[in-house]
Structure 1
Amino acid sequence: MSPVIPGFRYATIPGHEGIGIKAAVGGSGSPVVLLHGFPQTHLMWRHVAAGLATAHTVIVPDLRGYGDSGKPPAAAAETYSKRTMASDVVAVAKALGHERFALIGHDRGALVAVRAGLDHPDTVTHLGILDVLPTLDMWEVLHGVDAAVAWHLYLMAQPAGLPERMITATADEFFGSFLSAWGADEAAMSPEIREAYLDASRNAVPSIVADYRASAGIDLEHDRVDRSSGRTLAMPVASIAQDWGGQLGFDPEALWRVWAPDFEFTPVTAGHFMAESHPQEVIAFVRRLLKR
């Protein structure tokens, strides 16, 4: 049996155009939606969700194409665009009775959250971002050999066919390499949780690739339109990210401030999977954001 978040109830809820979105729901109070990243599922929020549920209704879905949510074939570029995935999130929250909610995302989920904030400014009250750059800026700051850290972005940006076959042939090694390389604290991810991530990912290769391919195509188009029009995030926004000091060669806070006039940035000494290794710091980050 797959691991669950203790004390949370589970349901499959129609997302955009009826795609089934599996979500865990717990607690009571003002709603907070938590979106996971790659190569994970909603389980990455298990500690944070429990902490926030003491004062909030916490909704923790698997993104479309991940975990136990629907994985429609990528028949069009829009199928796995962040705009479509954001529409899933809004539909799920509304189906649960929440017209407005705070939205916190990690990694891929943060990109979905940002698109939700841009497209649905009257729905997203607060926006929290864990350890990712805006899609448009990410591609612009990757240069030379330093871009090797993002090699998977380039692989999954290739036309459909070869990336899927290559990743499927070595699925556990491929996805496991990120779980190992990006985590500063191996003890934060039990063997059971790690296997749940690997099992979910090996069964979702086409949809995961389609999600990444969208970020090198249609998601960029949407961001460029917003950048050229001066569209920004209207709600309070905050980001918590690994503290790289001057190693990056660019300032992530400055990149985000272009998109978010009401913005706060928190560097933290942690690995990429900070919601699992440093949940109390992430809970405190979310609570600070919700007070704004």
Structure 2
Amino acid sequence: MKINGFDYHRISGDGDVKLNVAVGGSGTPIVLLHGFPQTHLMWRHVATDLAADHTVICPDLRGYGESDKPADDYAKRVMAADIVAVARNLGHDTFALAGHDRGALVAFRAGLDHPDTITHLMCLDVLPTLDMWDVMHGTSAAVGFHLYLMAQPPGLPEELIAARPEAFFGHFLDLWTNDPAAIPADVRAAYLDACRDAVPSIVADYRASAAIDVTHDQHDLAQGNKLRMPVTVIQQDWGAALGFDAAALWRAWAPDLHHQTTTAGHFMAEESPAEITTAIRALLKR
């Protein structure tokens, strides 16, 4: 499936990796990064709205969708370098960046590593990696069982997930949405088809978040590095549910922060696209 009215390209990212990229509209550029277990298609509503007055760039992350799936190199630093390379190959040295879920972690890393390139940053429904691991404890950590499963050494996670990929990935599509109609049957099937062909690379992406990504974030924390651009974070009220102050955790990384919660489910760009589009437009005015 494709986003209506968008052109599709295979564009070089970092190194030899090529990404599947949908591009539409004209004007100042904004890049939209998808989450798990989805592809760029999750932005279909928001992207077509923003394309009225922006150049909108929607890649499949490395390891997902129709992008290349190398065996390793899923540090968010590398995945962020992919996105910067794609934008530059399209003629954009600076751009706004919004990411959801896994894409939000890539966006976070891009903001830290490329502060002169990312003009505005939005992260949907995540915490920074270090904070995510810190708040996951006790029985409340059961909600993140997949994080621990895919953090295990290569072999077992891939075998377990590959045995029943539709059940595994479909579990999250069903559990994390408040409005099942937001992901219609054809879109759901497209997501599951894409995930079925990407089990090793998806696991490698998650495994990196329990290893090299932690190391990179710890270094930035020790150096006092922060996100220098205006940042908007929208997320479900996990802080209230699990007992932490999400806004305070984000503010430690992003001094120029607008933080808000939503009543939409995890897949908020599909459940509540007008809310997300409005927030992006407000961010771009800061």
TM norm. shorter chain > 0.5: yes
**2:62 counterpart residue number:** 64
Contact 2:231-2:254 within 8 A present in 1 as well: yes
2:190 to 188, 196, 204: 196
Q: 1:213-263 deviations in whole A, cap 9, x for unaligned? A: 000000000000001111000100010111357222001111000000100
2-structure distance, mates of 1:243, 1:209: 27
**2:269 counterpart residue number:** 275
Query: Structure 2 counterpart of 1:214, which letter?
Result: A
2-structure distance, mates of 1:204, 1:63: 11
**1:102 counterpart residue number:** 96
1:163 to 157, 161, 164: 157
Any gaps of 5 or more consecutive residues in structure 2?
A: none
Q: TM-score, normalised by structure 1?
A: 0.97
**Cα offset, 1:18, TM superposition:** 2.2
The answer as to 2:235 corresponding to 1:237 is no
2-structure distance, mates of 1:87, 1:32: 16
The answer as to 2:42 corresponding to 1:55 is no
Q: Match of 2:240, SS?
A: coil
2:219 to 225, 234, 238: 225
Q: 1:171-205 deviations in whole A, cap 9, x for unaligned? A: 00000000000010000111000000000001000
Q: Match of 2:229, SS?
A: coil
1:39 to 37, 40, 45: 37
Identity of aligned residues (%): 64
Q: TM-score, normalised by structure 2?
A: 0.99
**1:10 counterpart residue number:** 8
Any gaps of 5 or more consecutive residues in structure 1?
A: none
**2:22 counterpart residue number:** 24
Contact 2:239-2:245 within 8 A present in 1 as well: no
1-structure distance, mates of 2:220, 2:238: 28
Q: Match of 2:226, SS?
A: coil
**1:111 counterpart residue number:** 105
Q: Match of 1:246, SS?
A: helix
2-structure distance, mates of 1:268, 1:165: 36
Structure 1 residue ranges (4+ consecutive) displaced by more than 3 angstroms after TM superposition: none
Query: Structure 2 counterpart of 1:133, which letter?
Result: L
1-structure distance, mates of 2:238, 2:205: 27
The answer as to 2:240 corresponding to 1:246 is yes
Correspondence 1:257-268 to 2 at 5 A: 257-268=251-262
Query: Structure 2 counterpart of 1:247, which letter?
Result: A
Contact 2:239-2:246 within 8 A present in 1 as well: no
Number of residue pairs matched by the alignment: 286
**2:140 counterpart residue number:** 146
Query: Structure 1 counterpart of 2:261, which letter?
Result: P
2-structure distance, mates of 1:166, 1:209: 11
Taking only aligned residues, the RMSD between alpha carbons, in angstroms, comes to 0.7
**2:74 counterpart residue number:** 80
Q: 1:65-105 deviations in whole A, cap 9, x for unaligned? A: 0000000112xxxx000000000000000000000000000
The answer as to 2:178 corresponding to 1:184 is yes
2-structure distance, mates of 1:184, 1:218: 33
Query: Structure 2 counterpart of 1:64, which letter?
Result: R
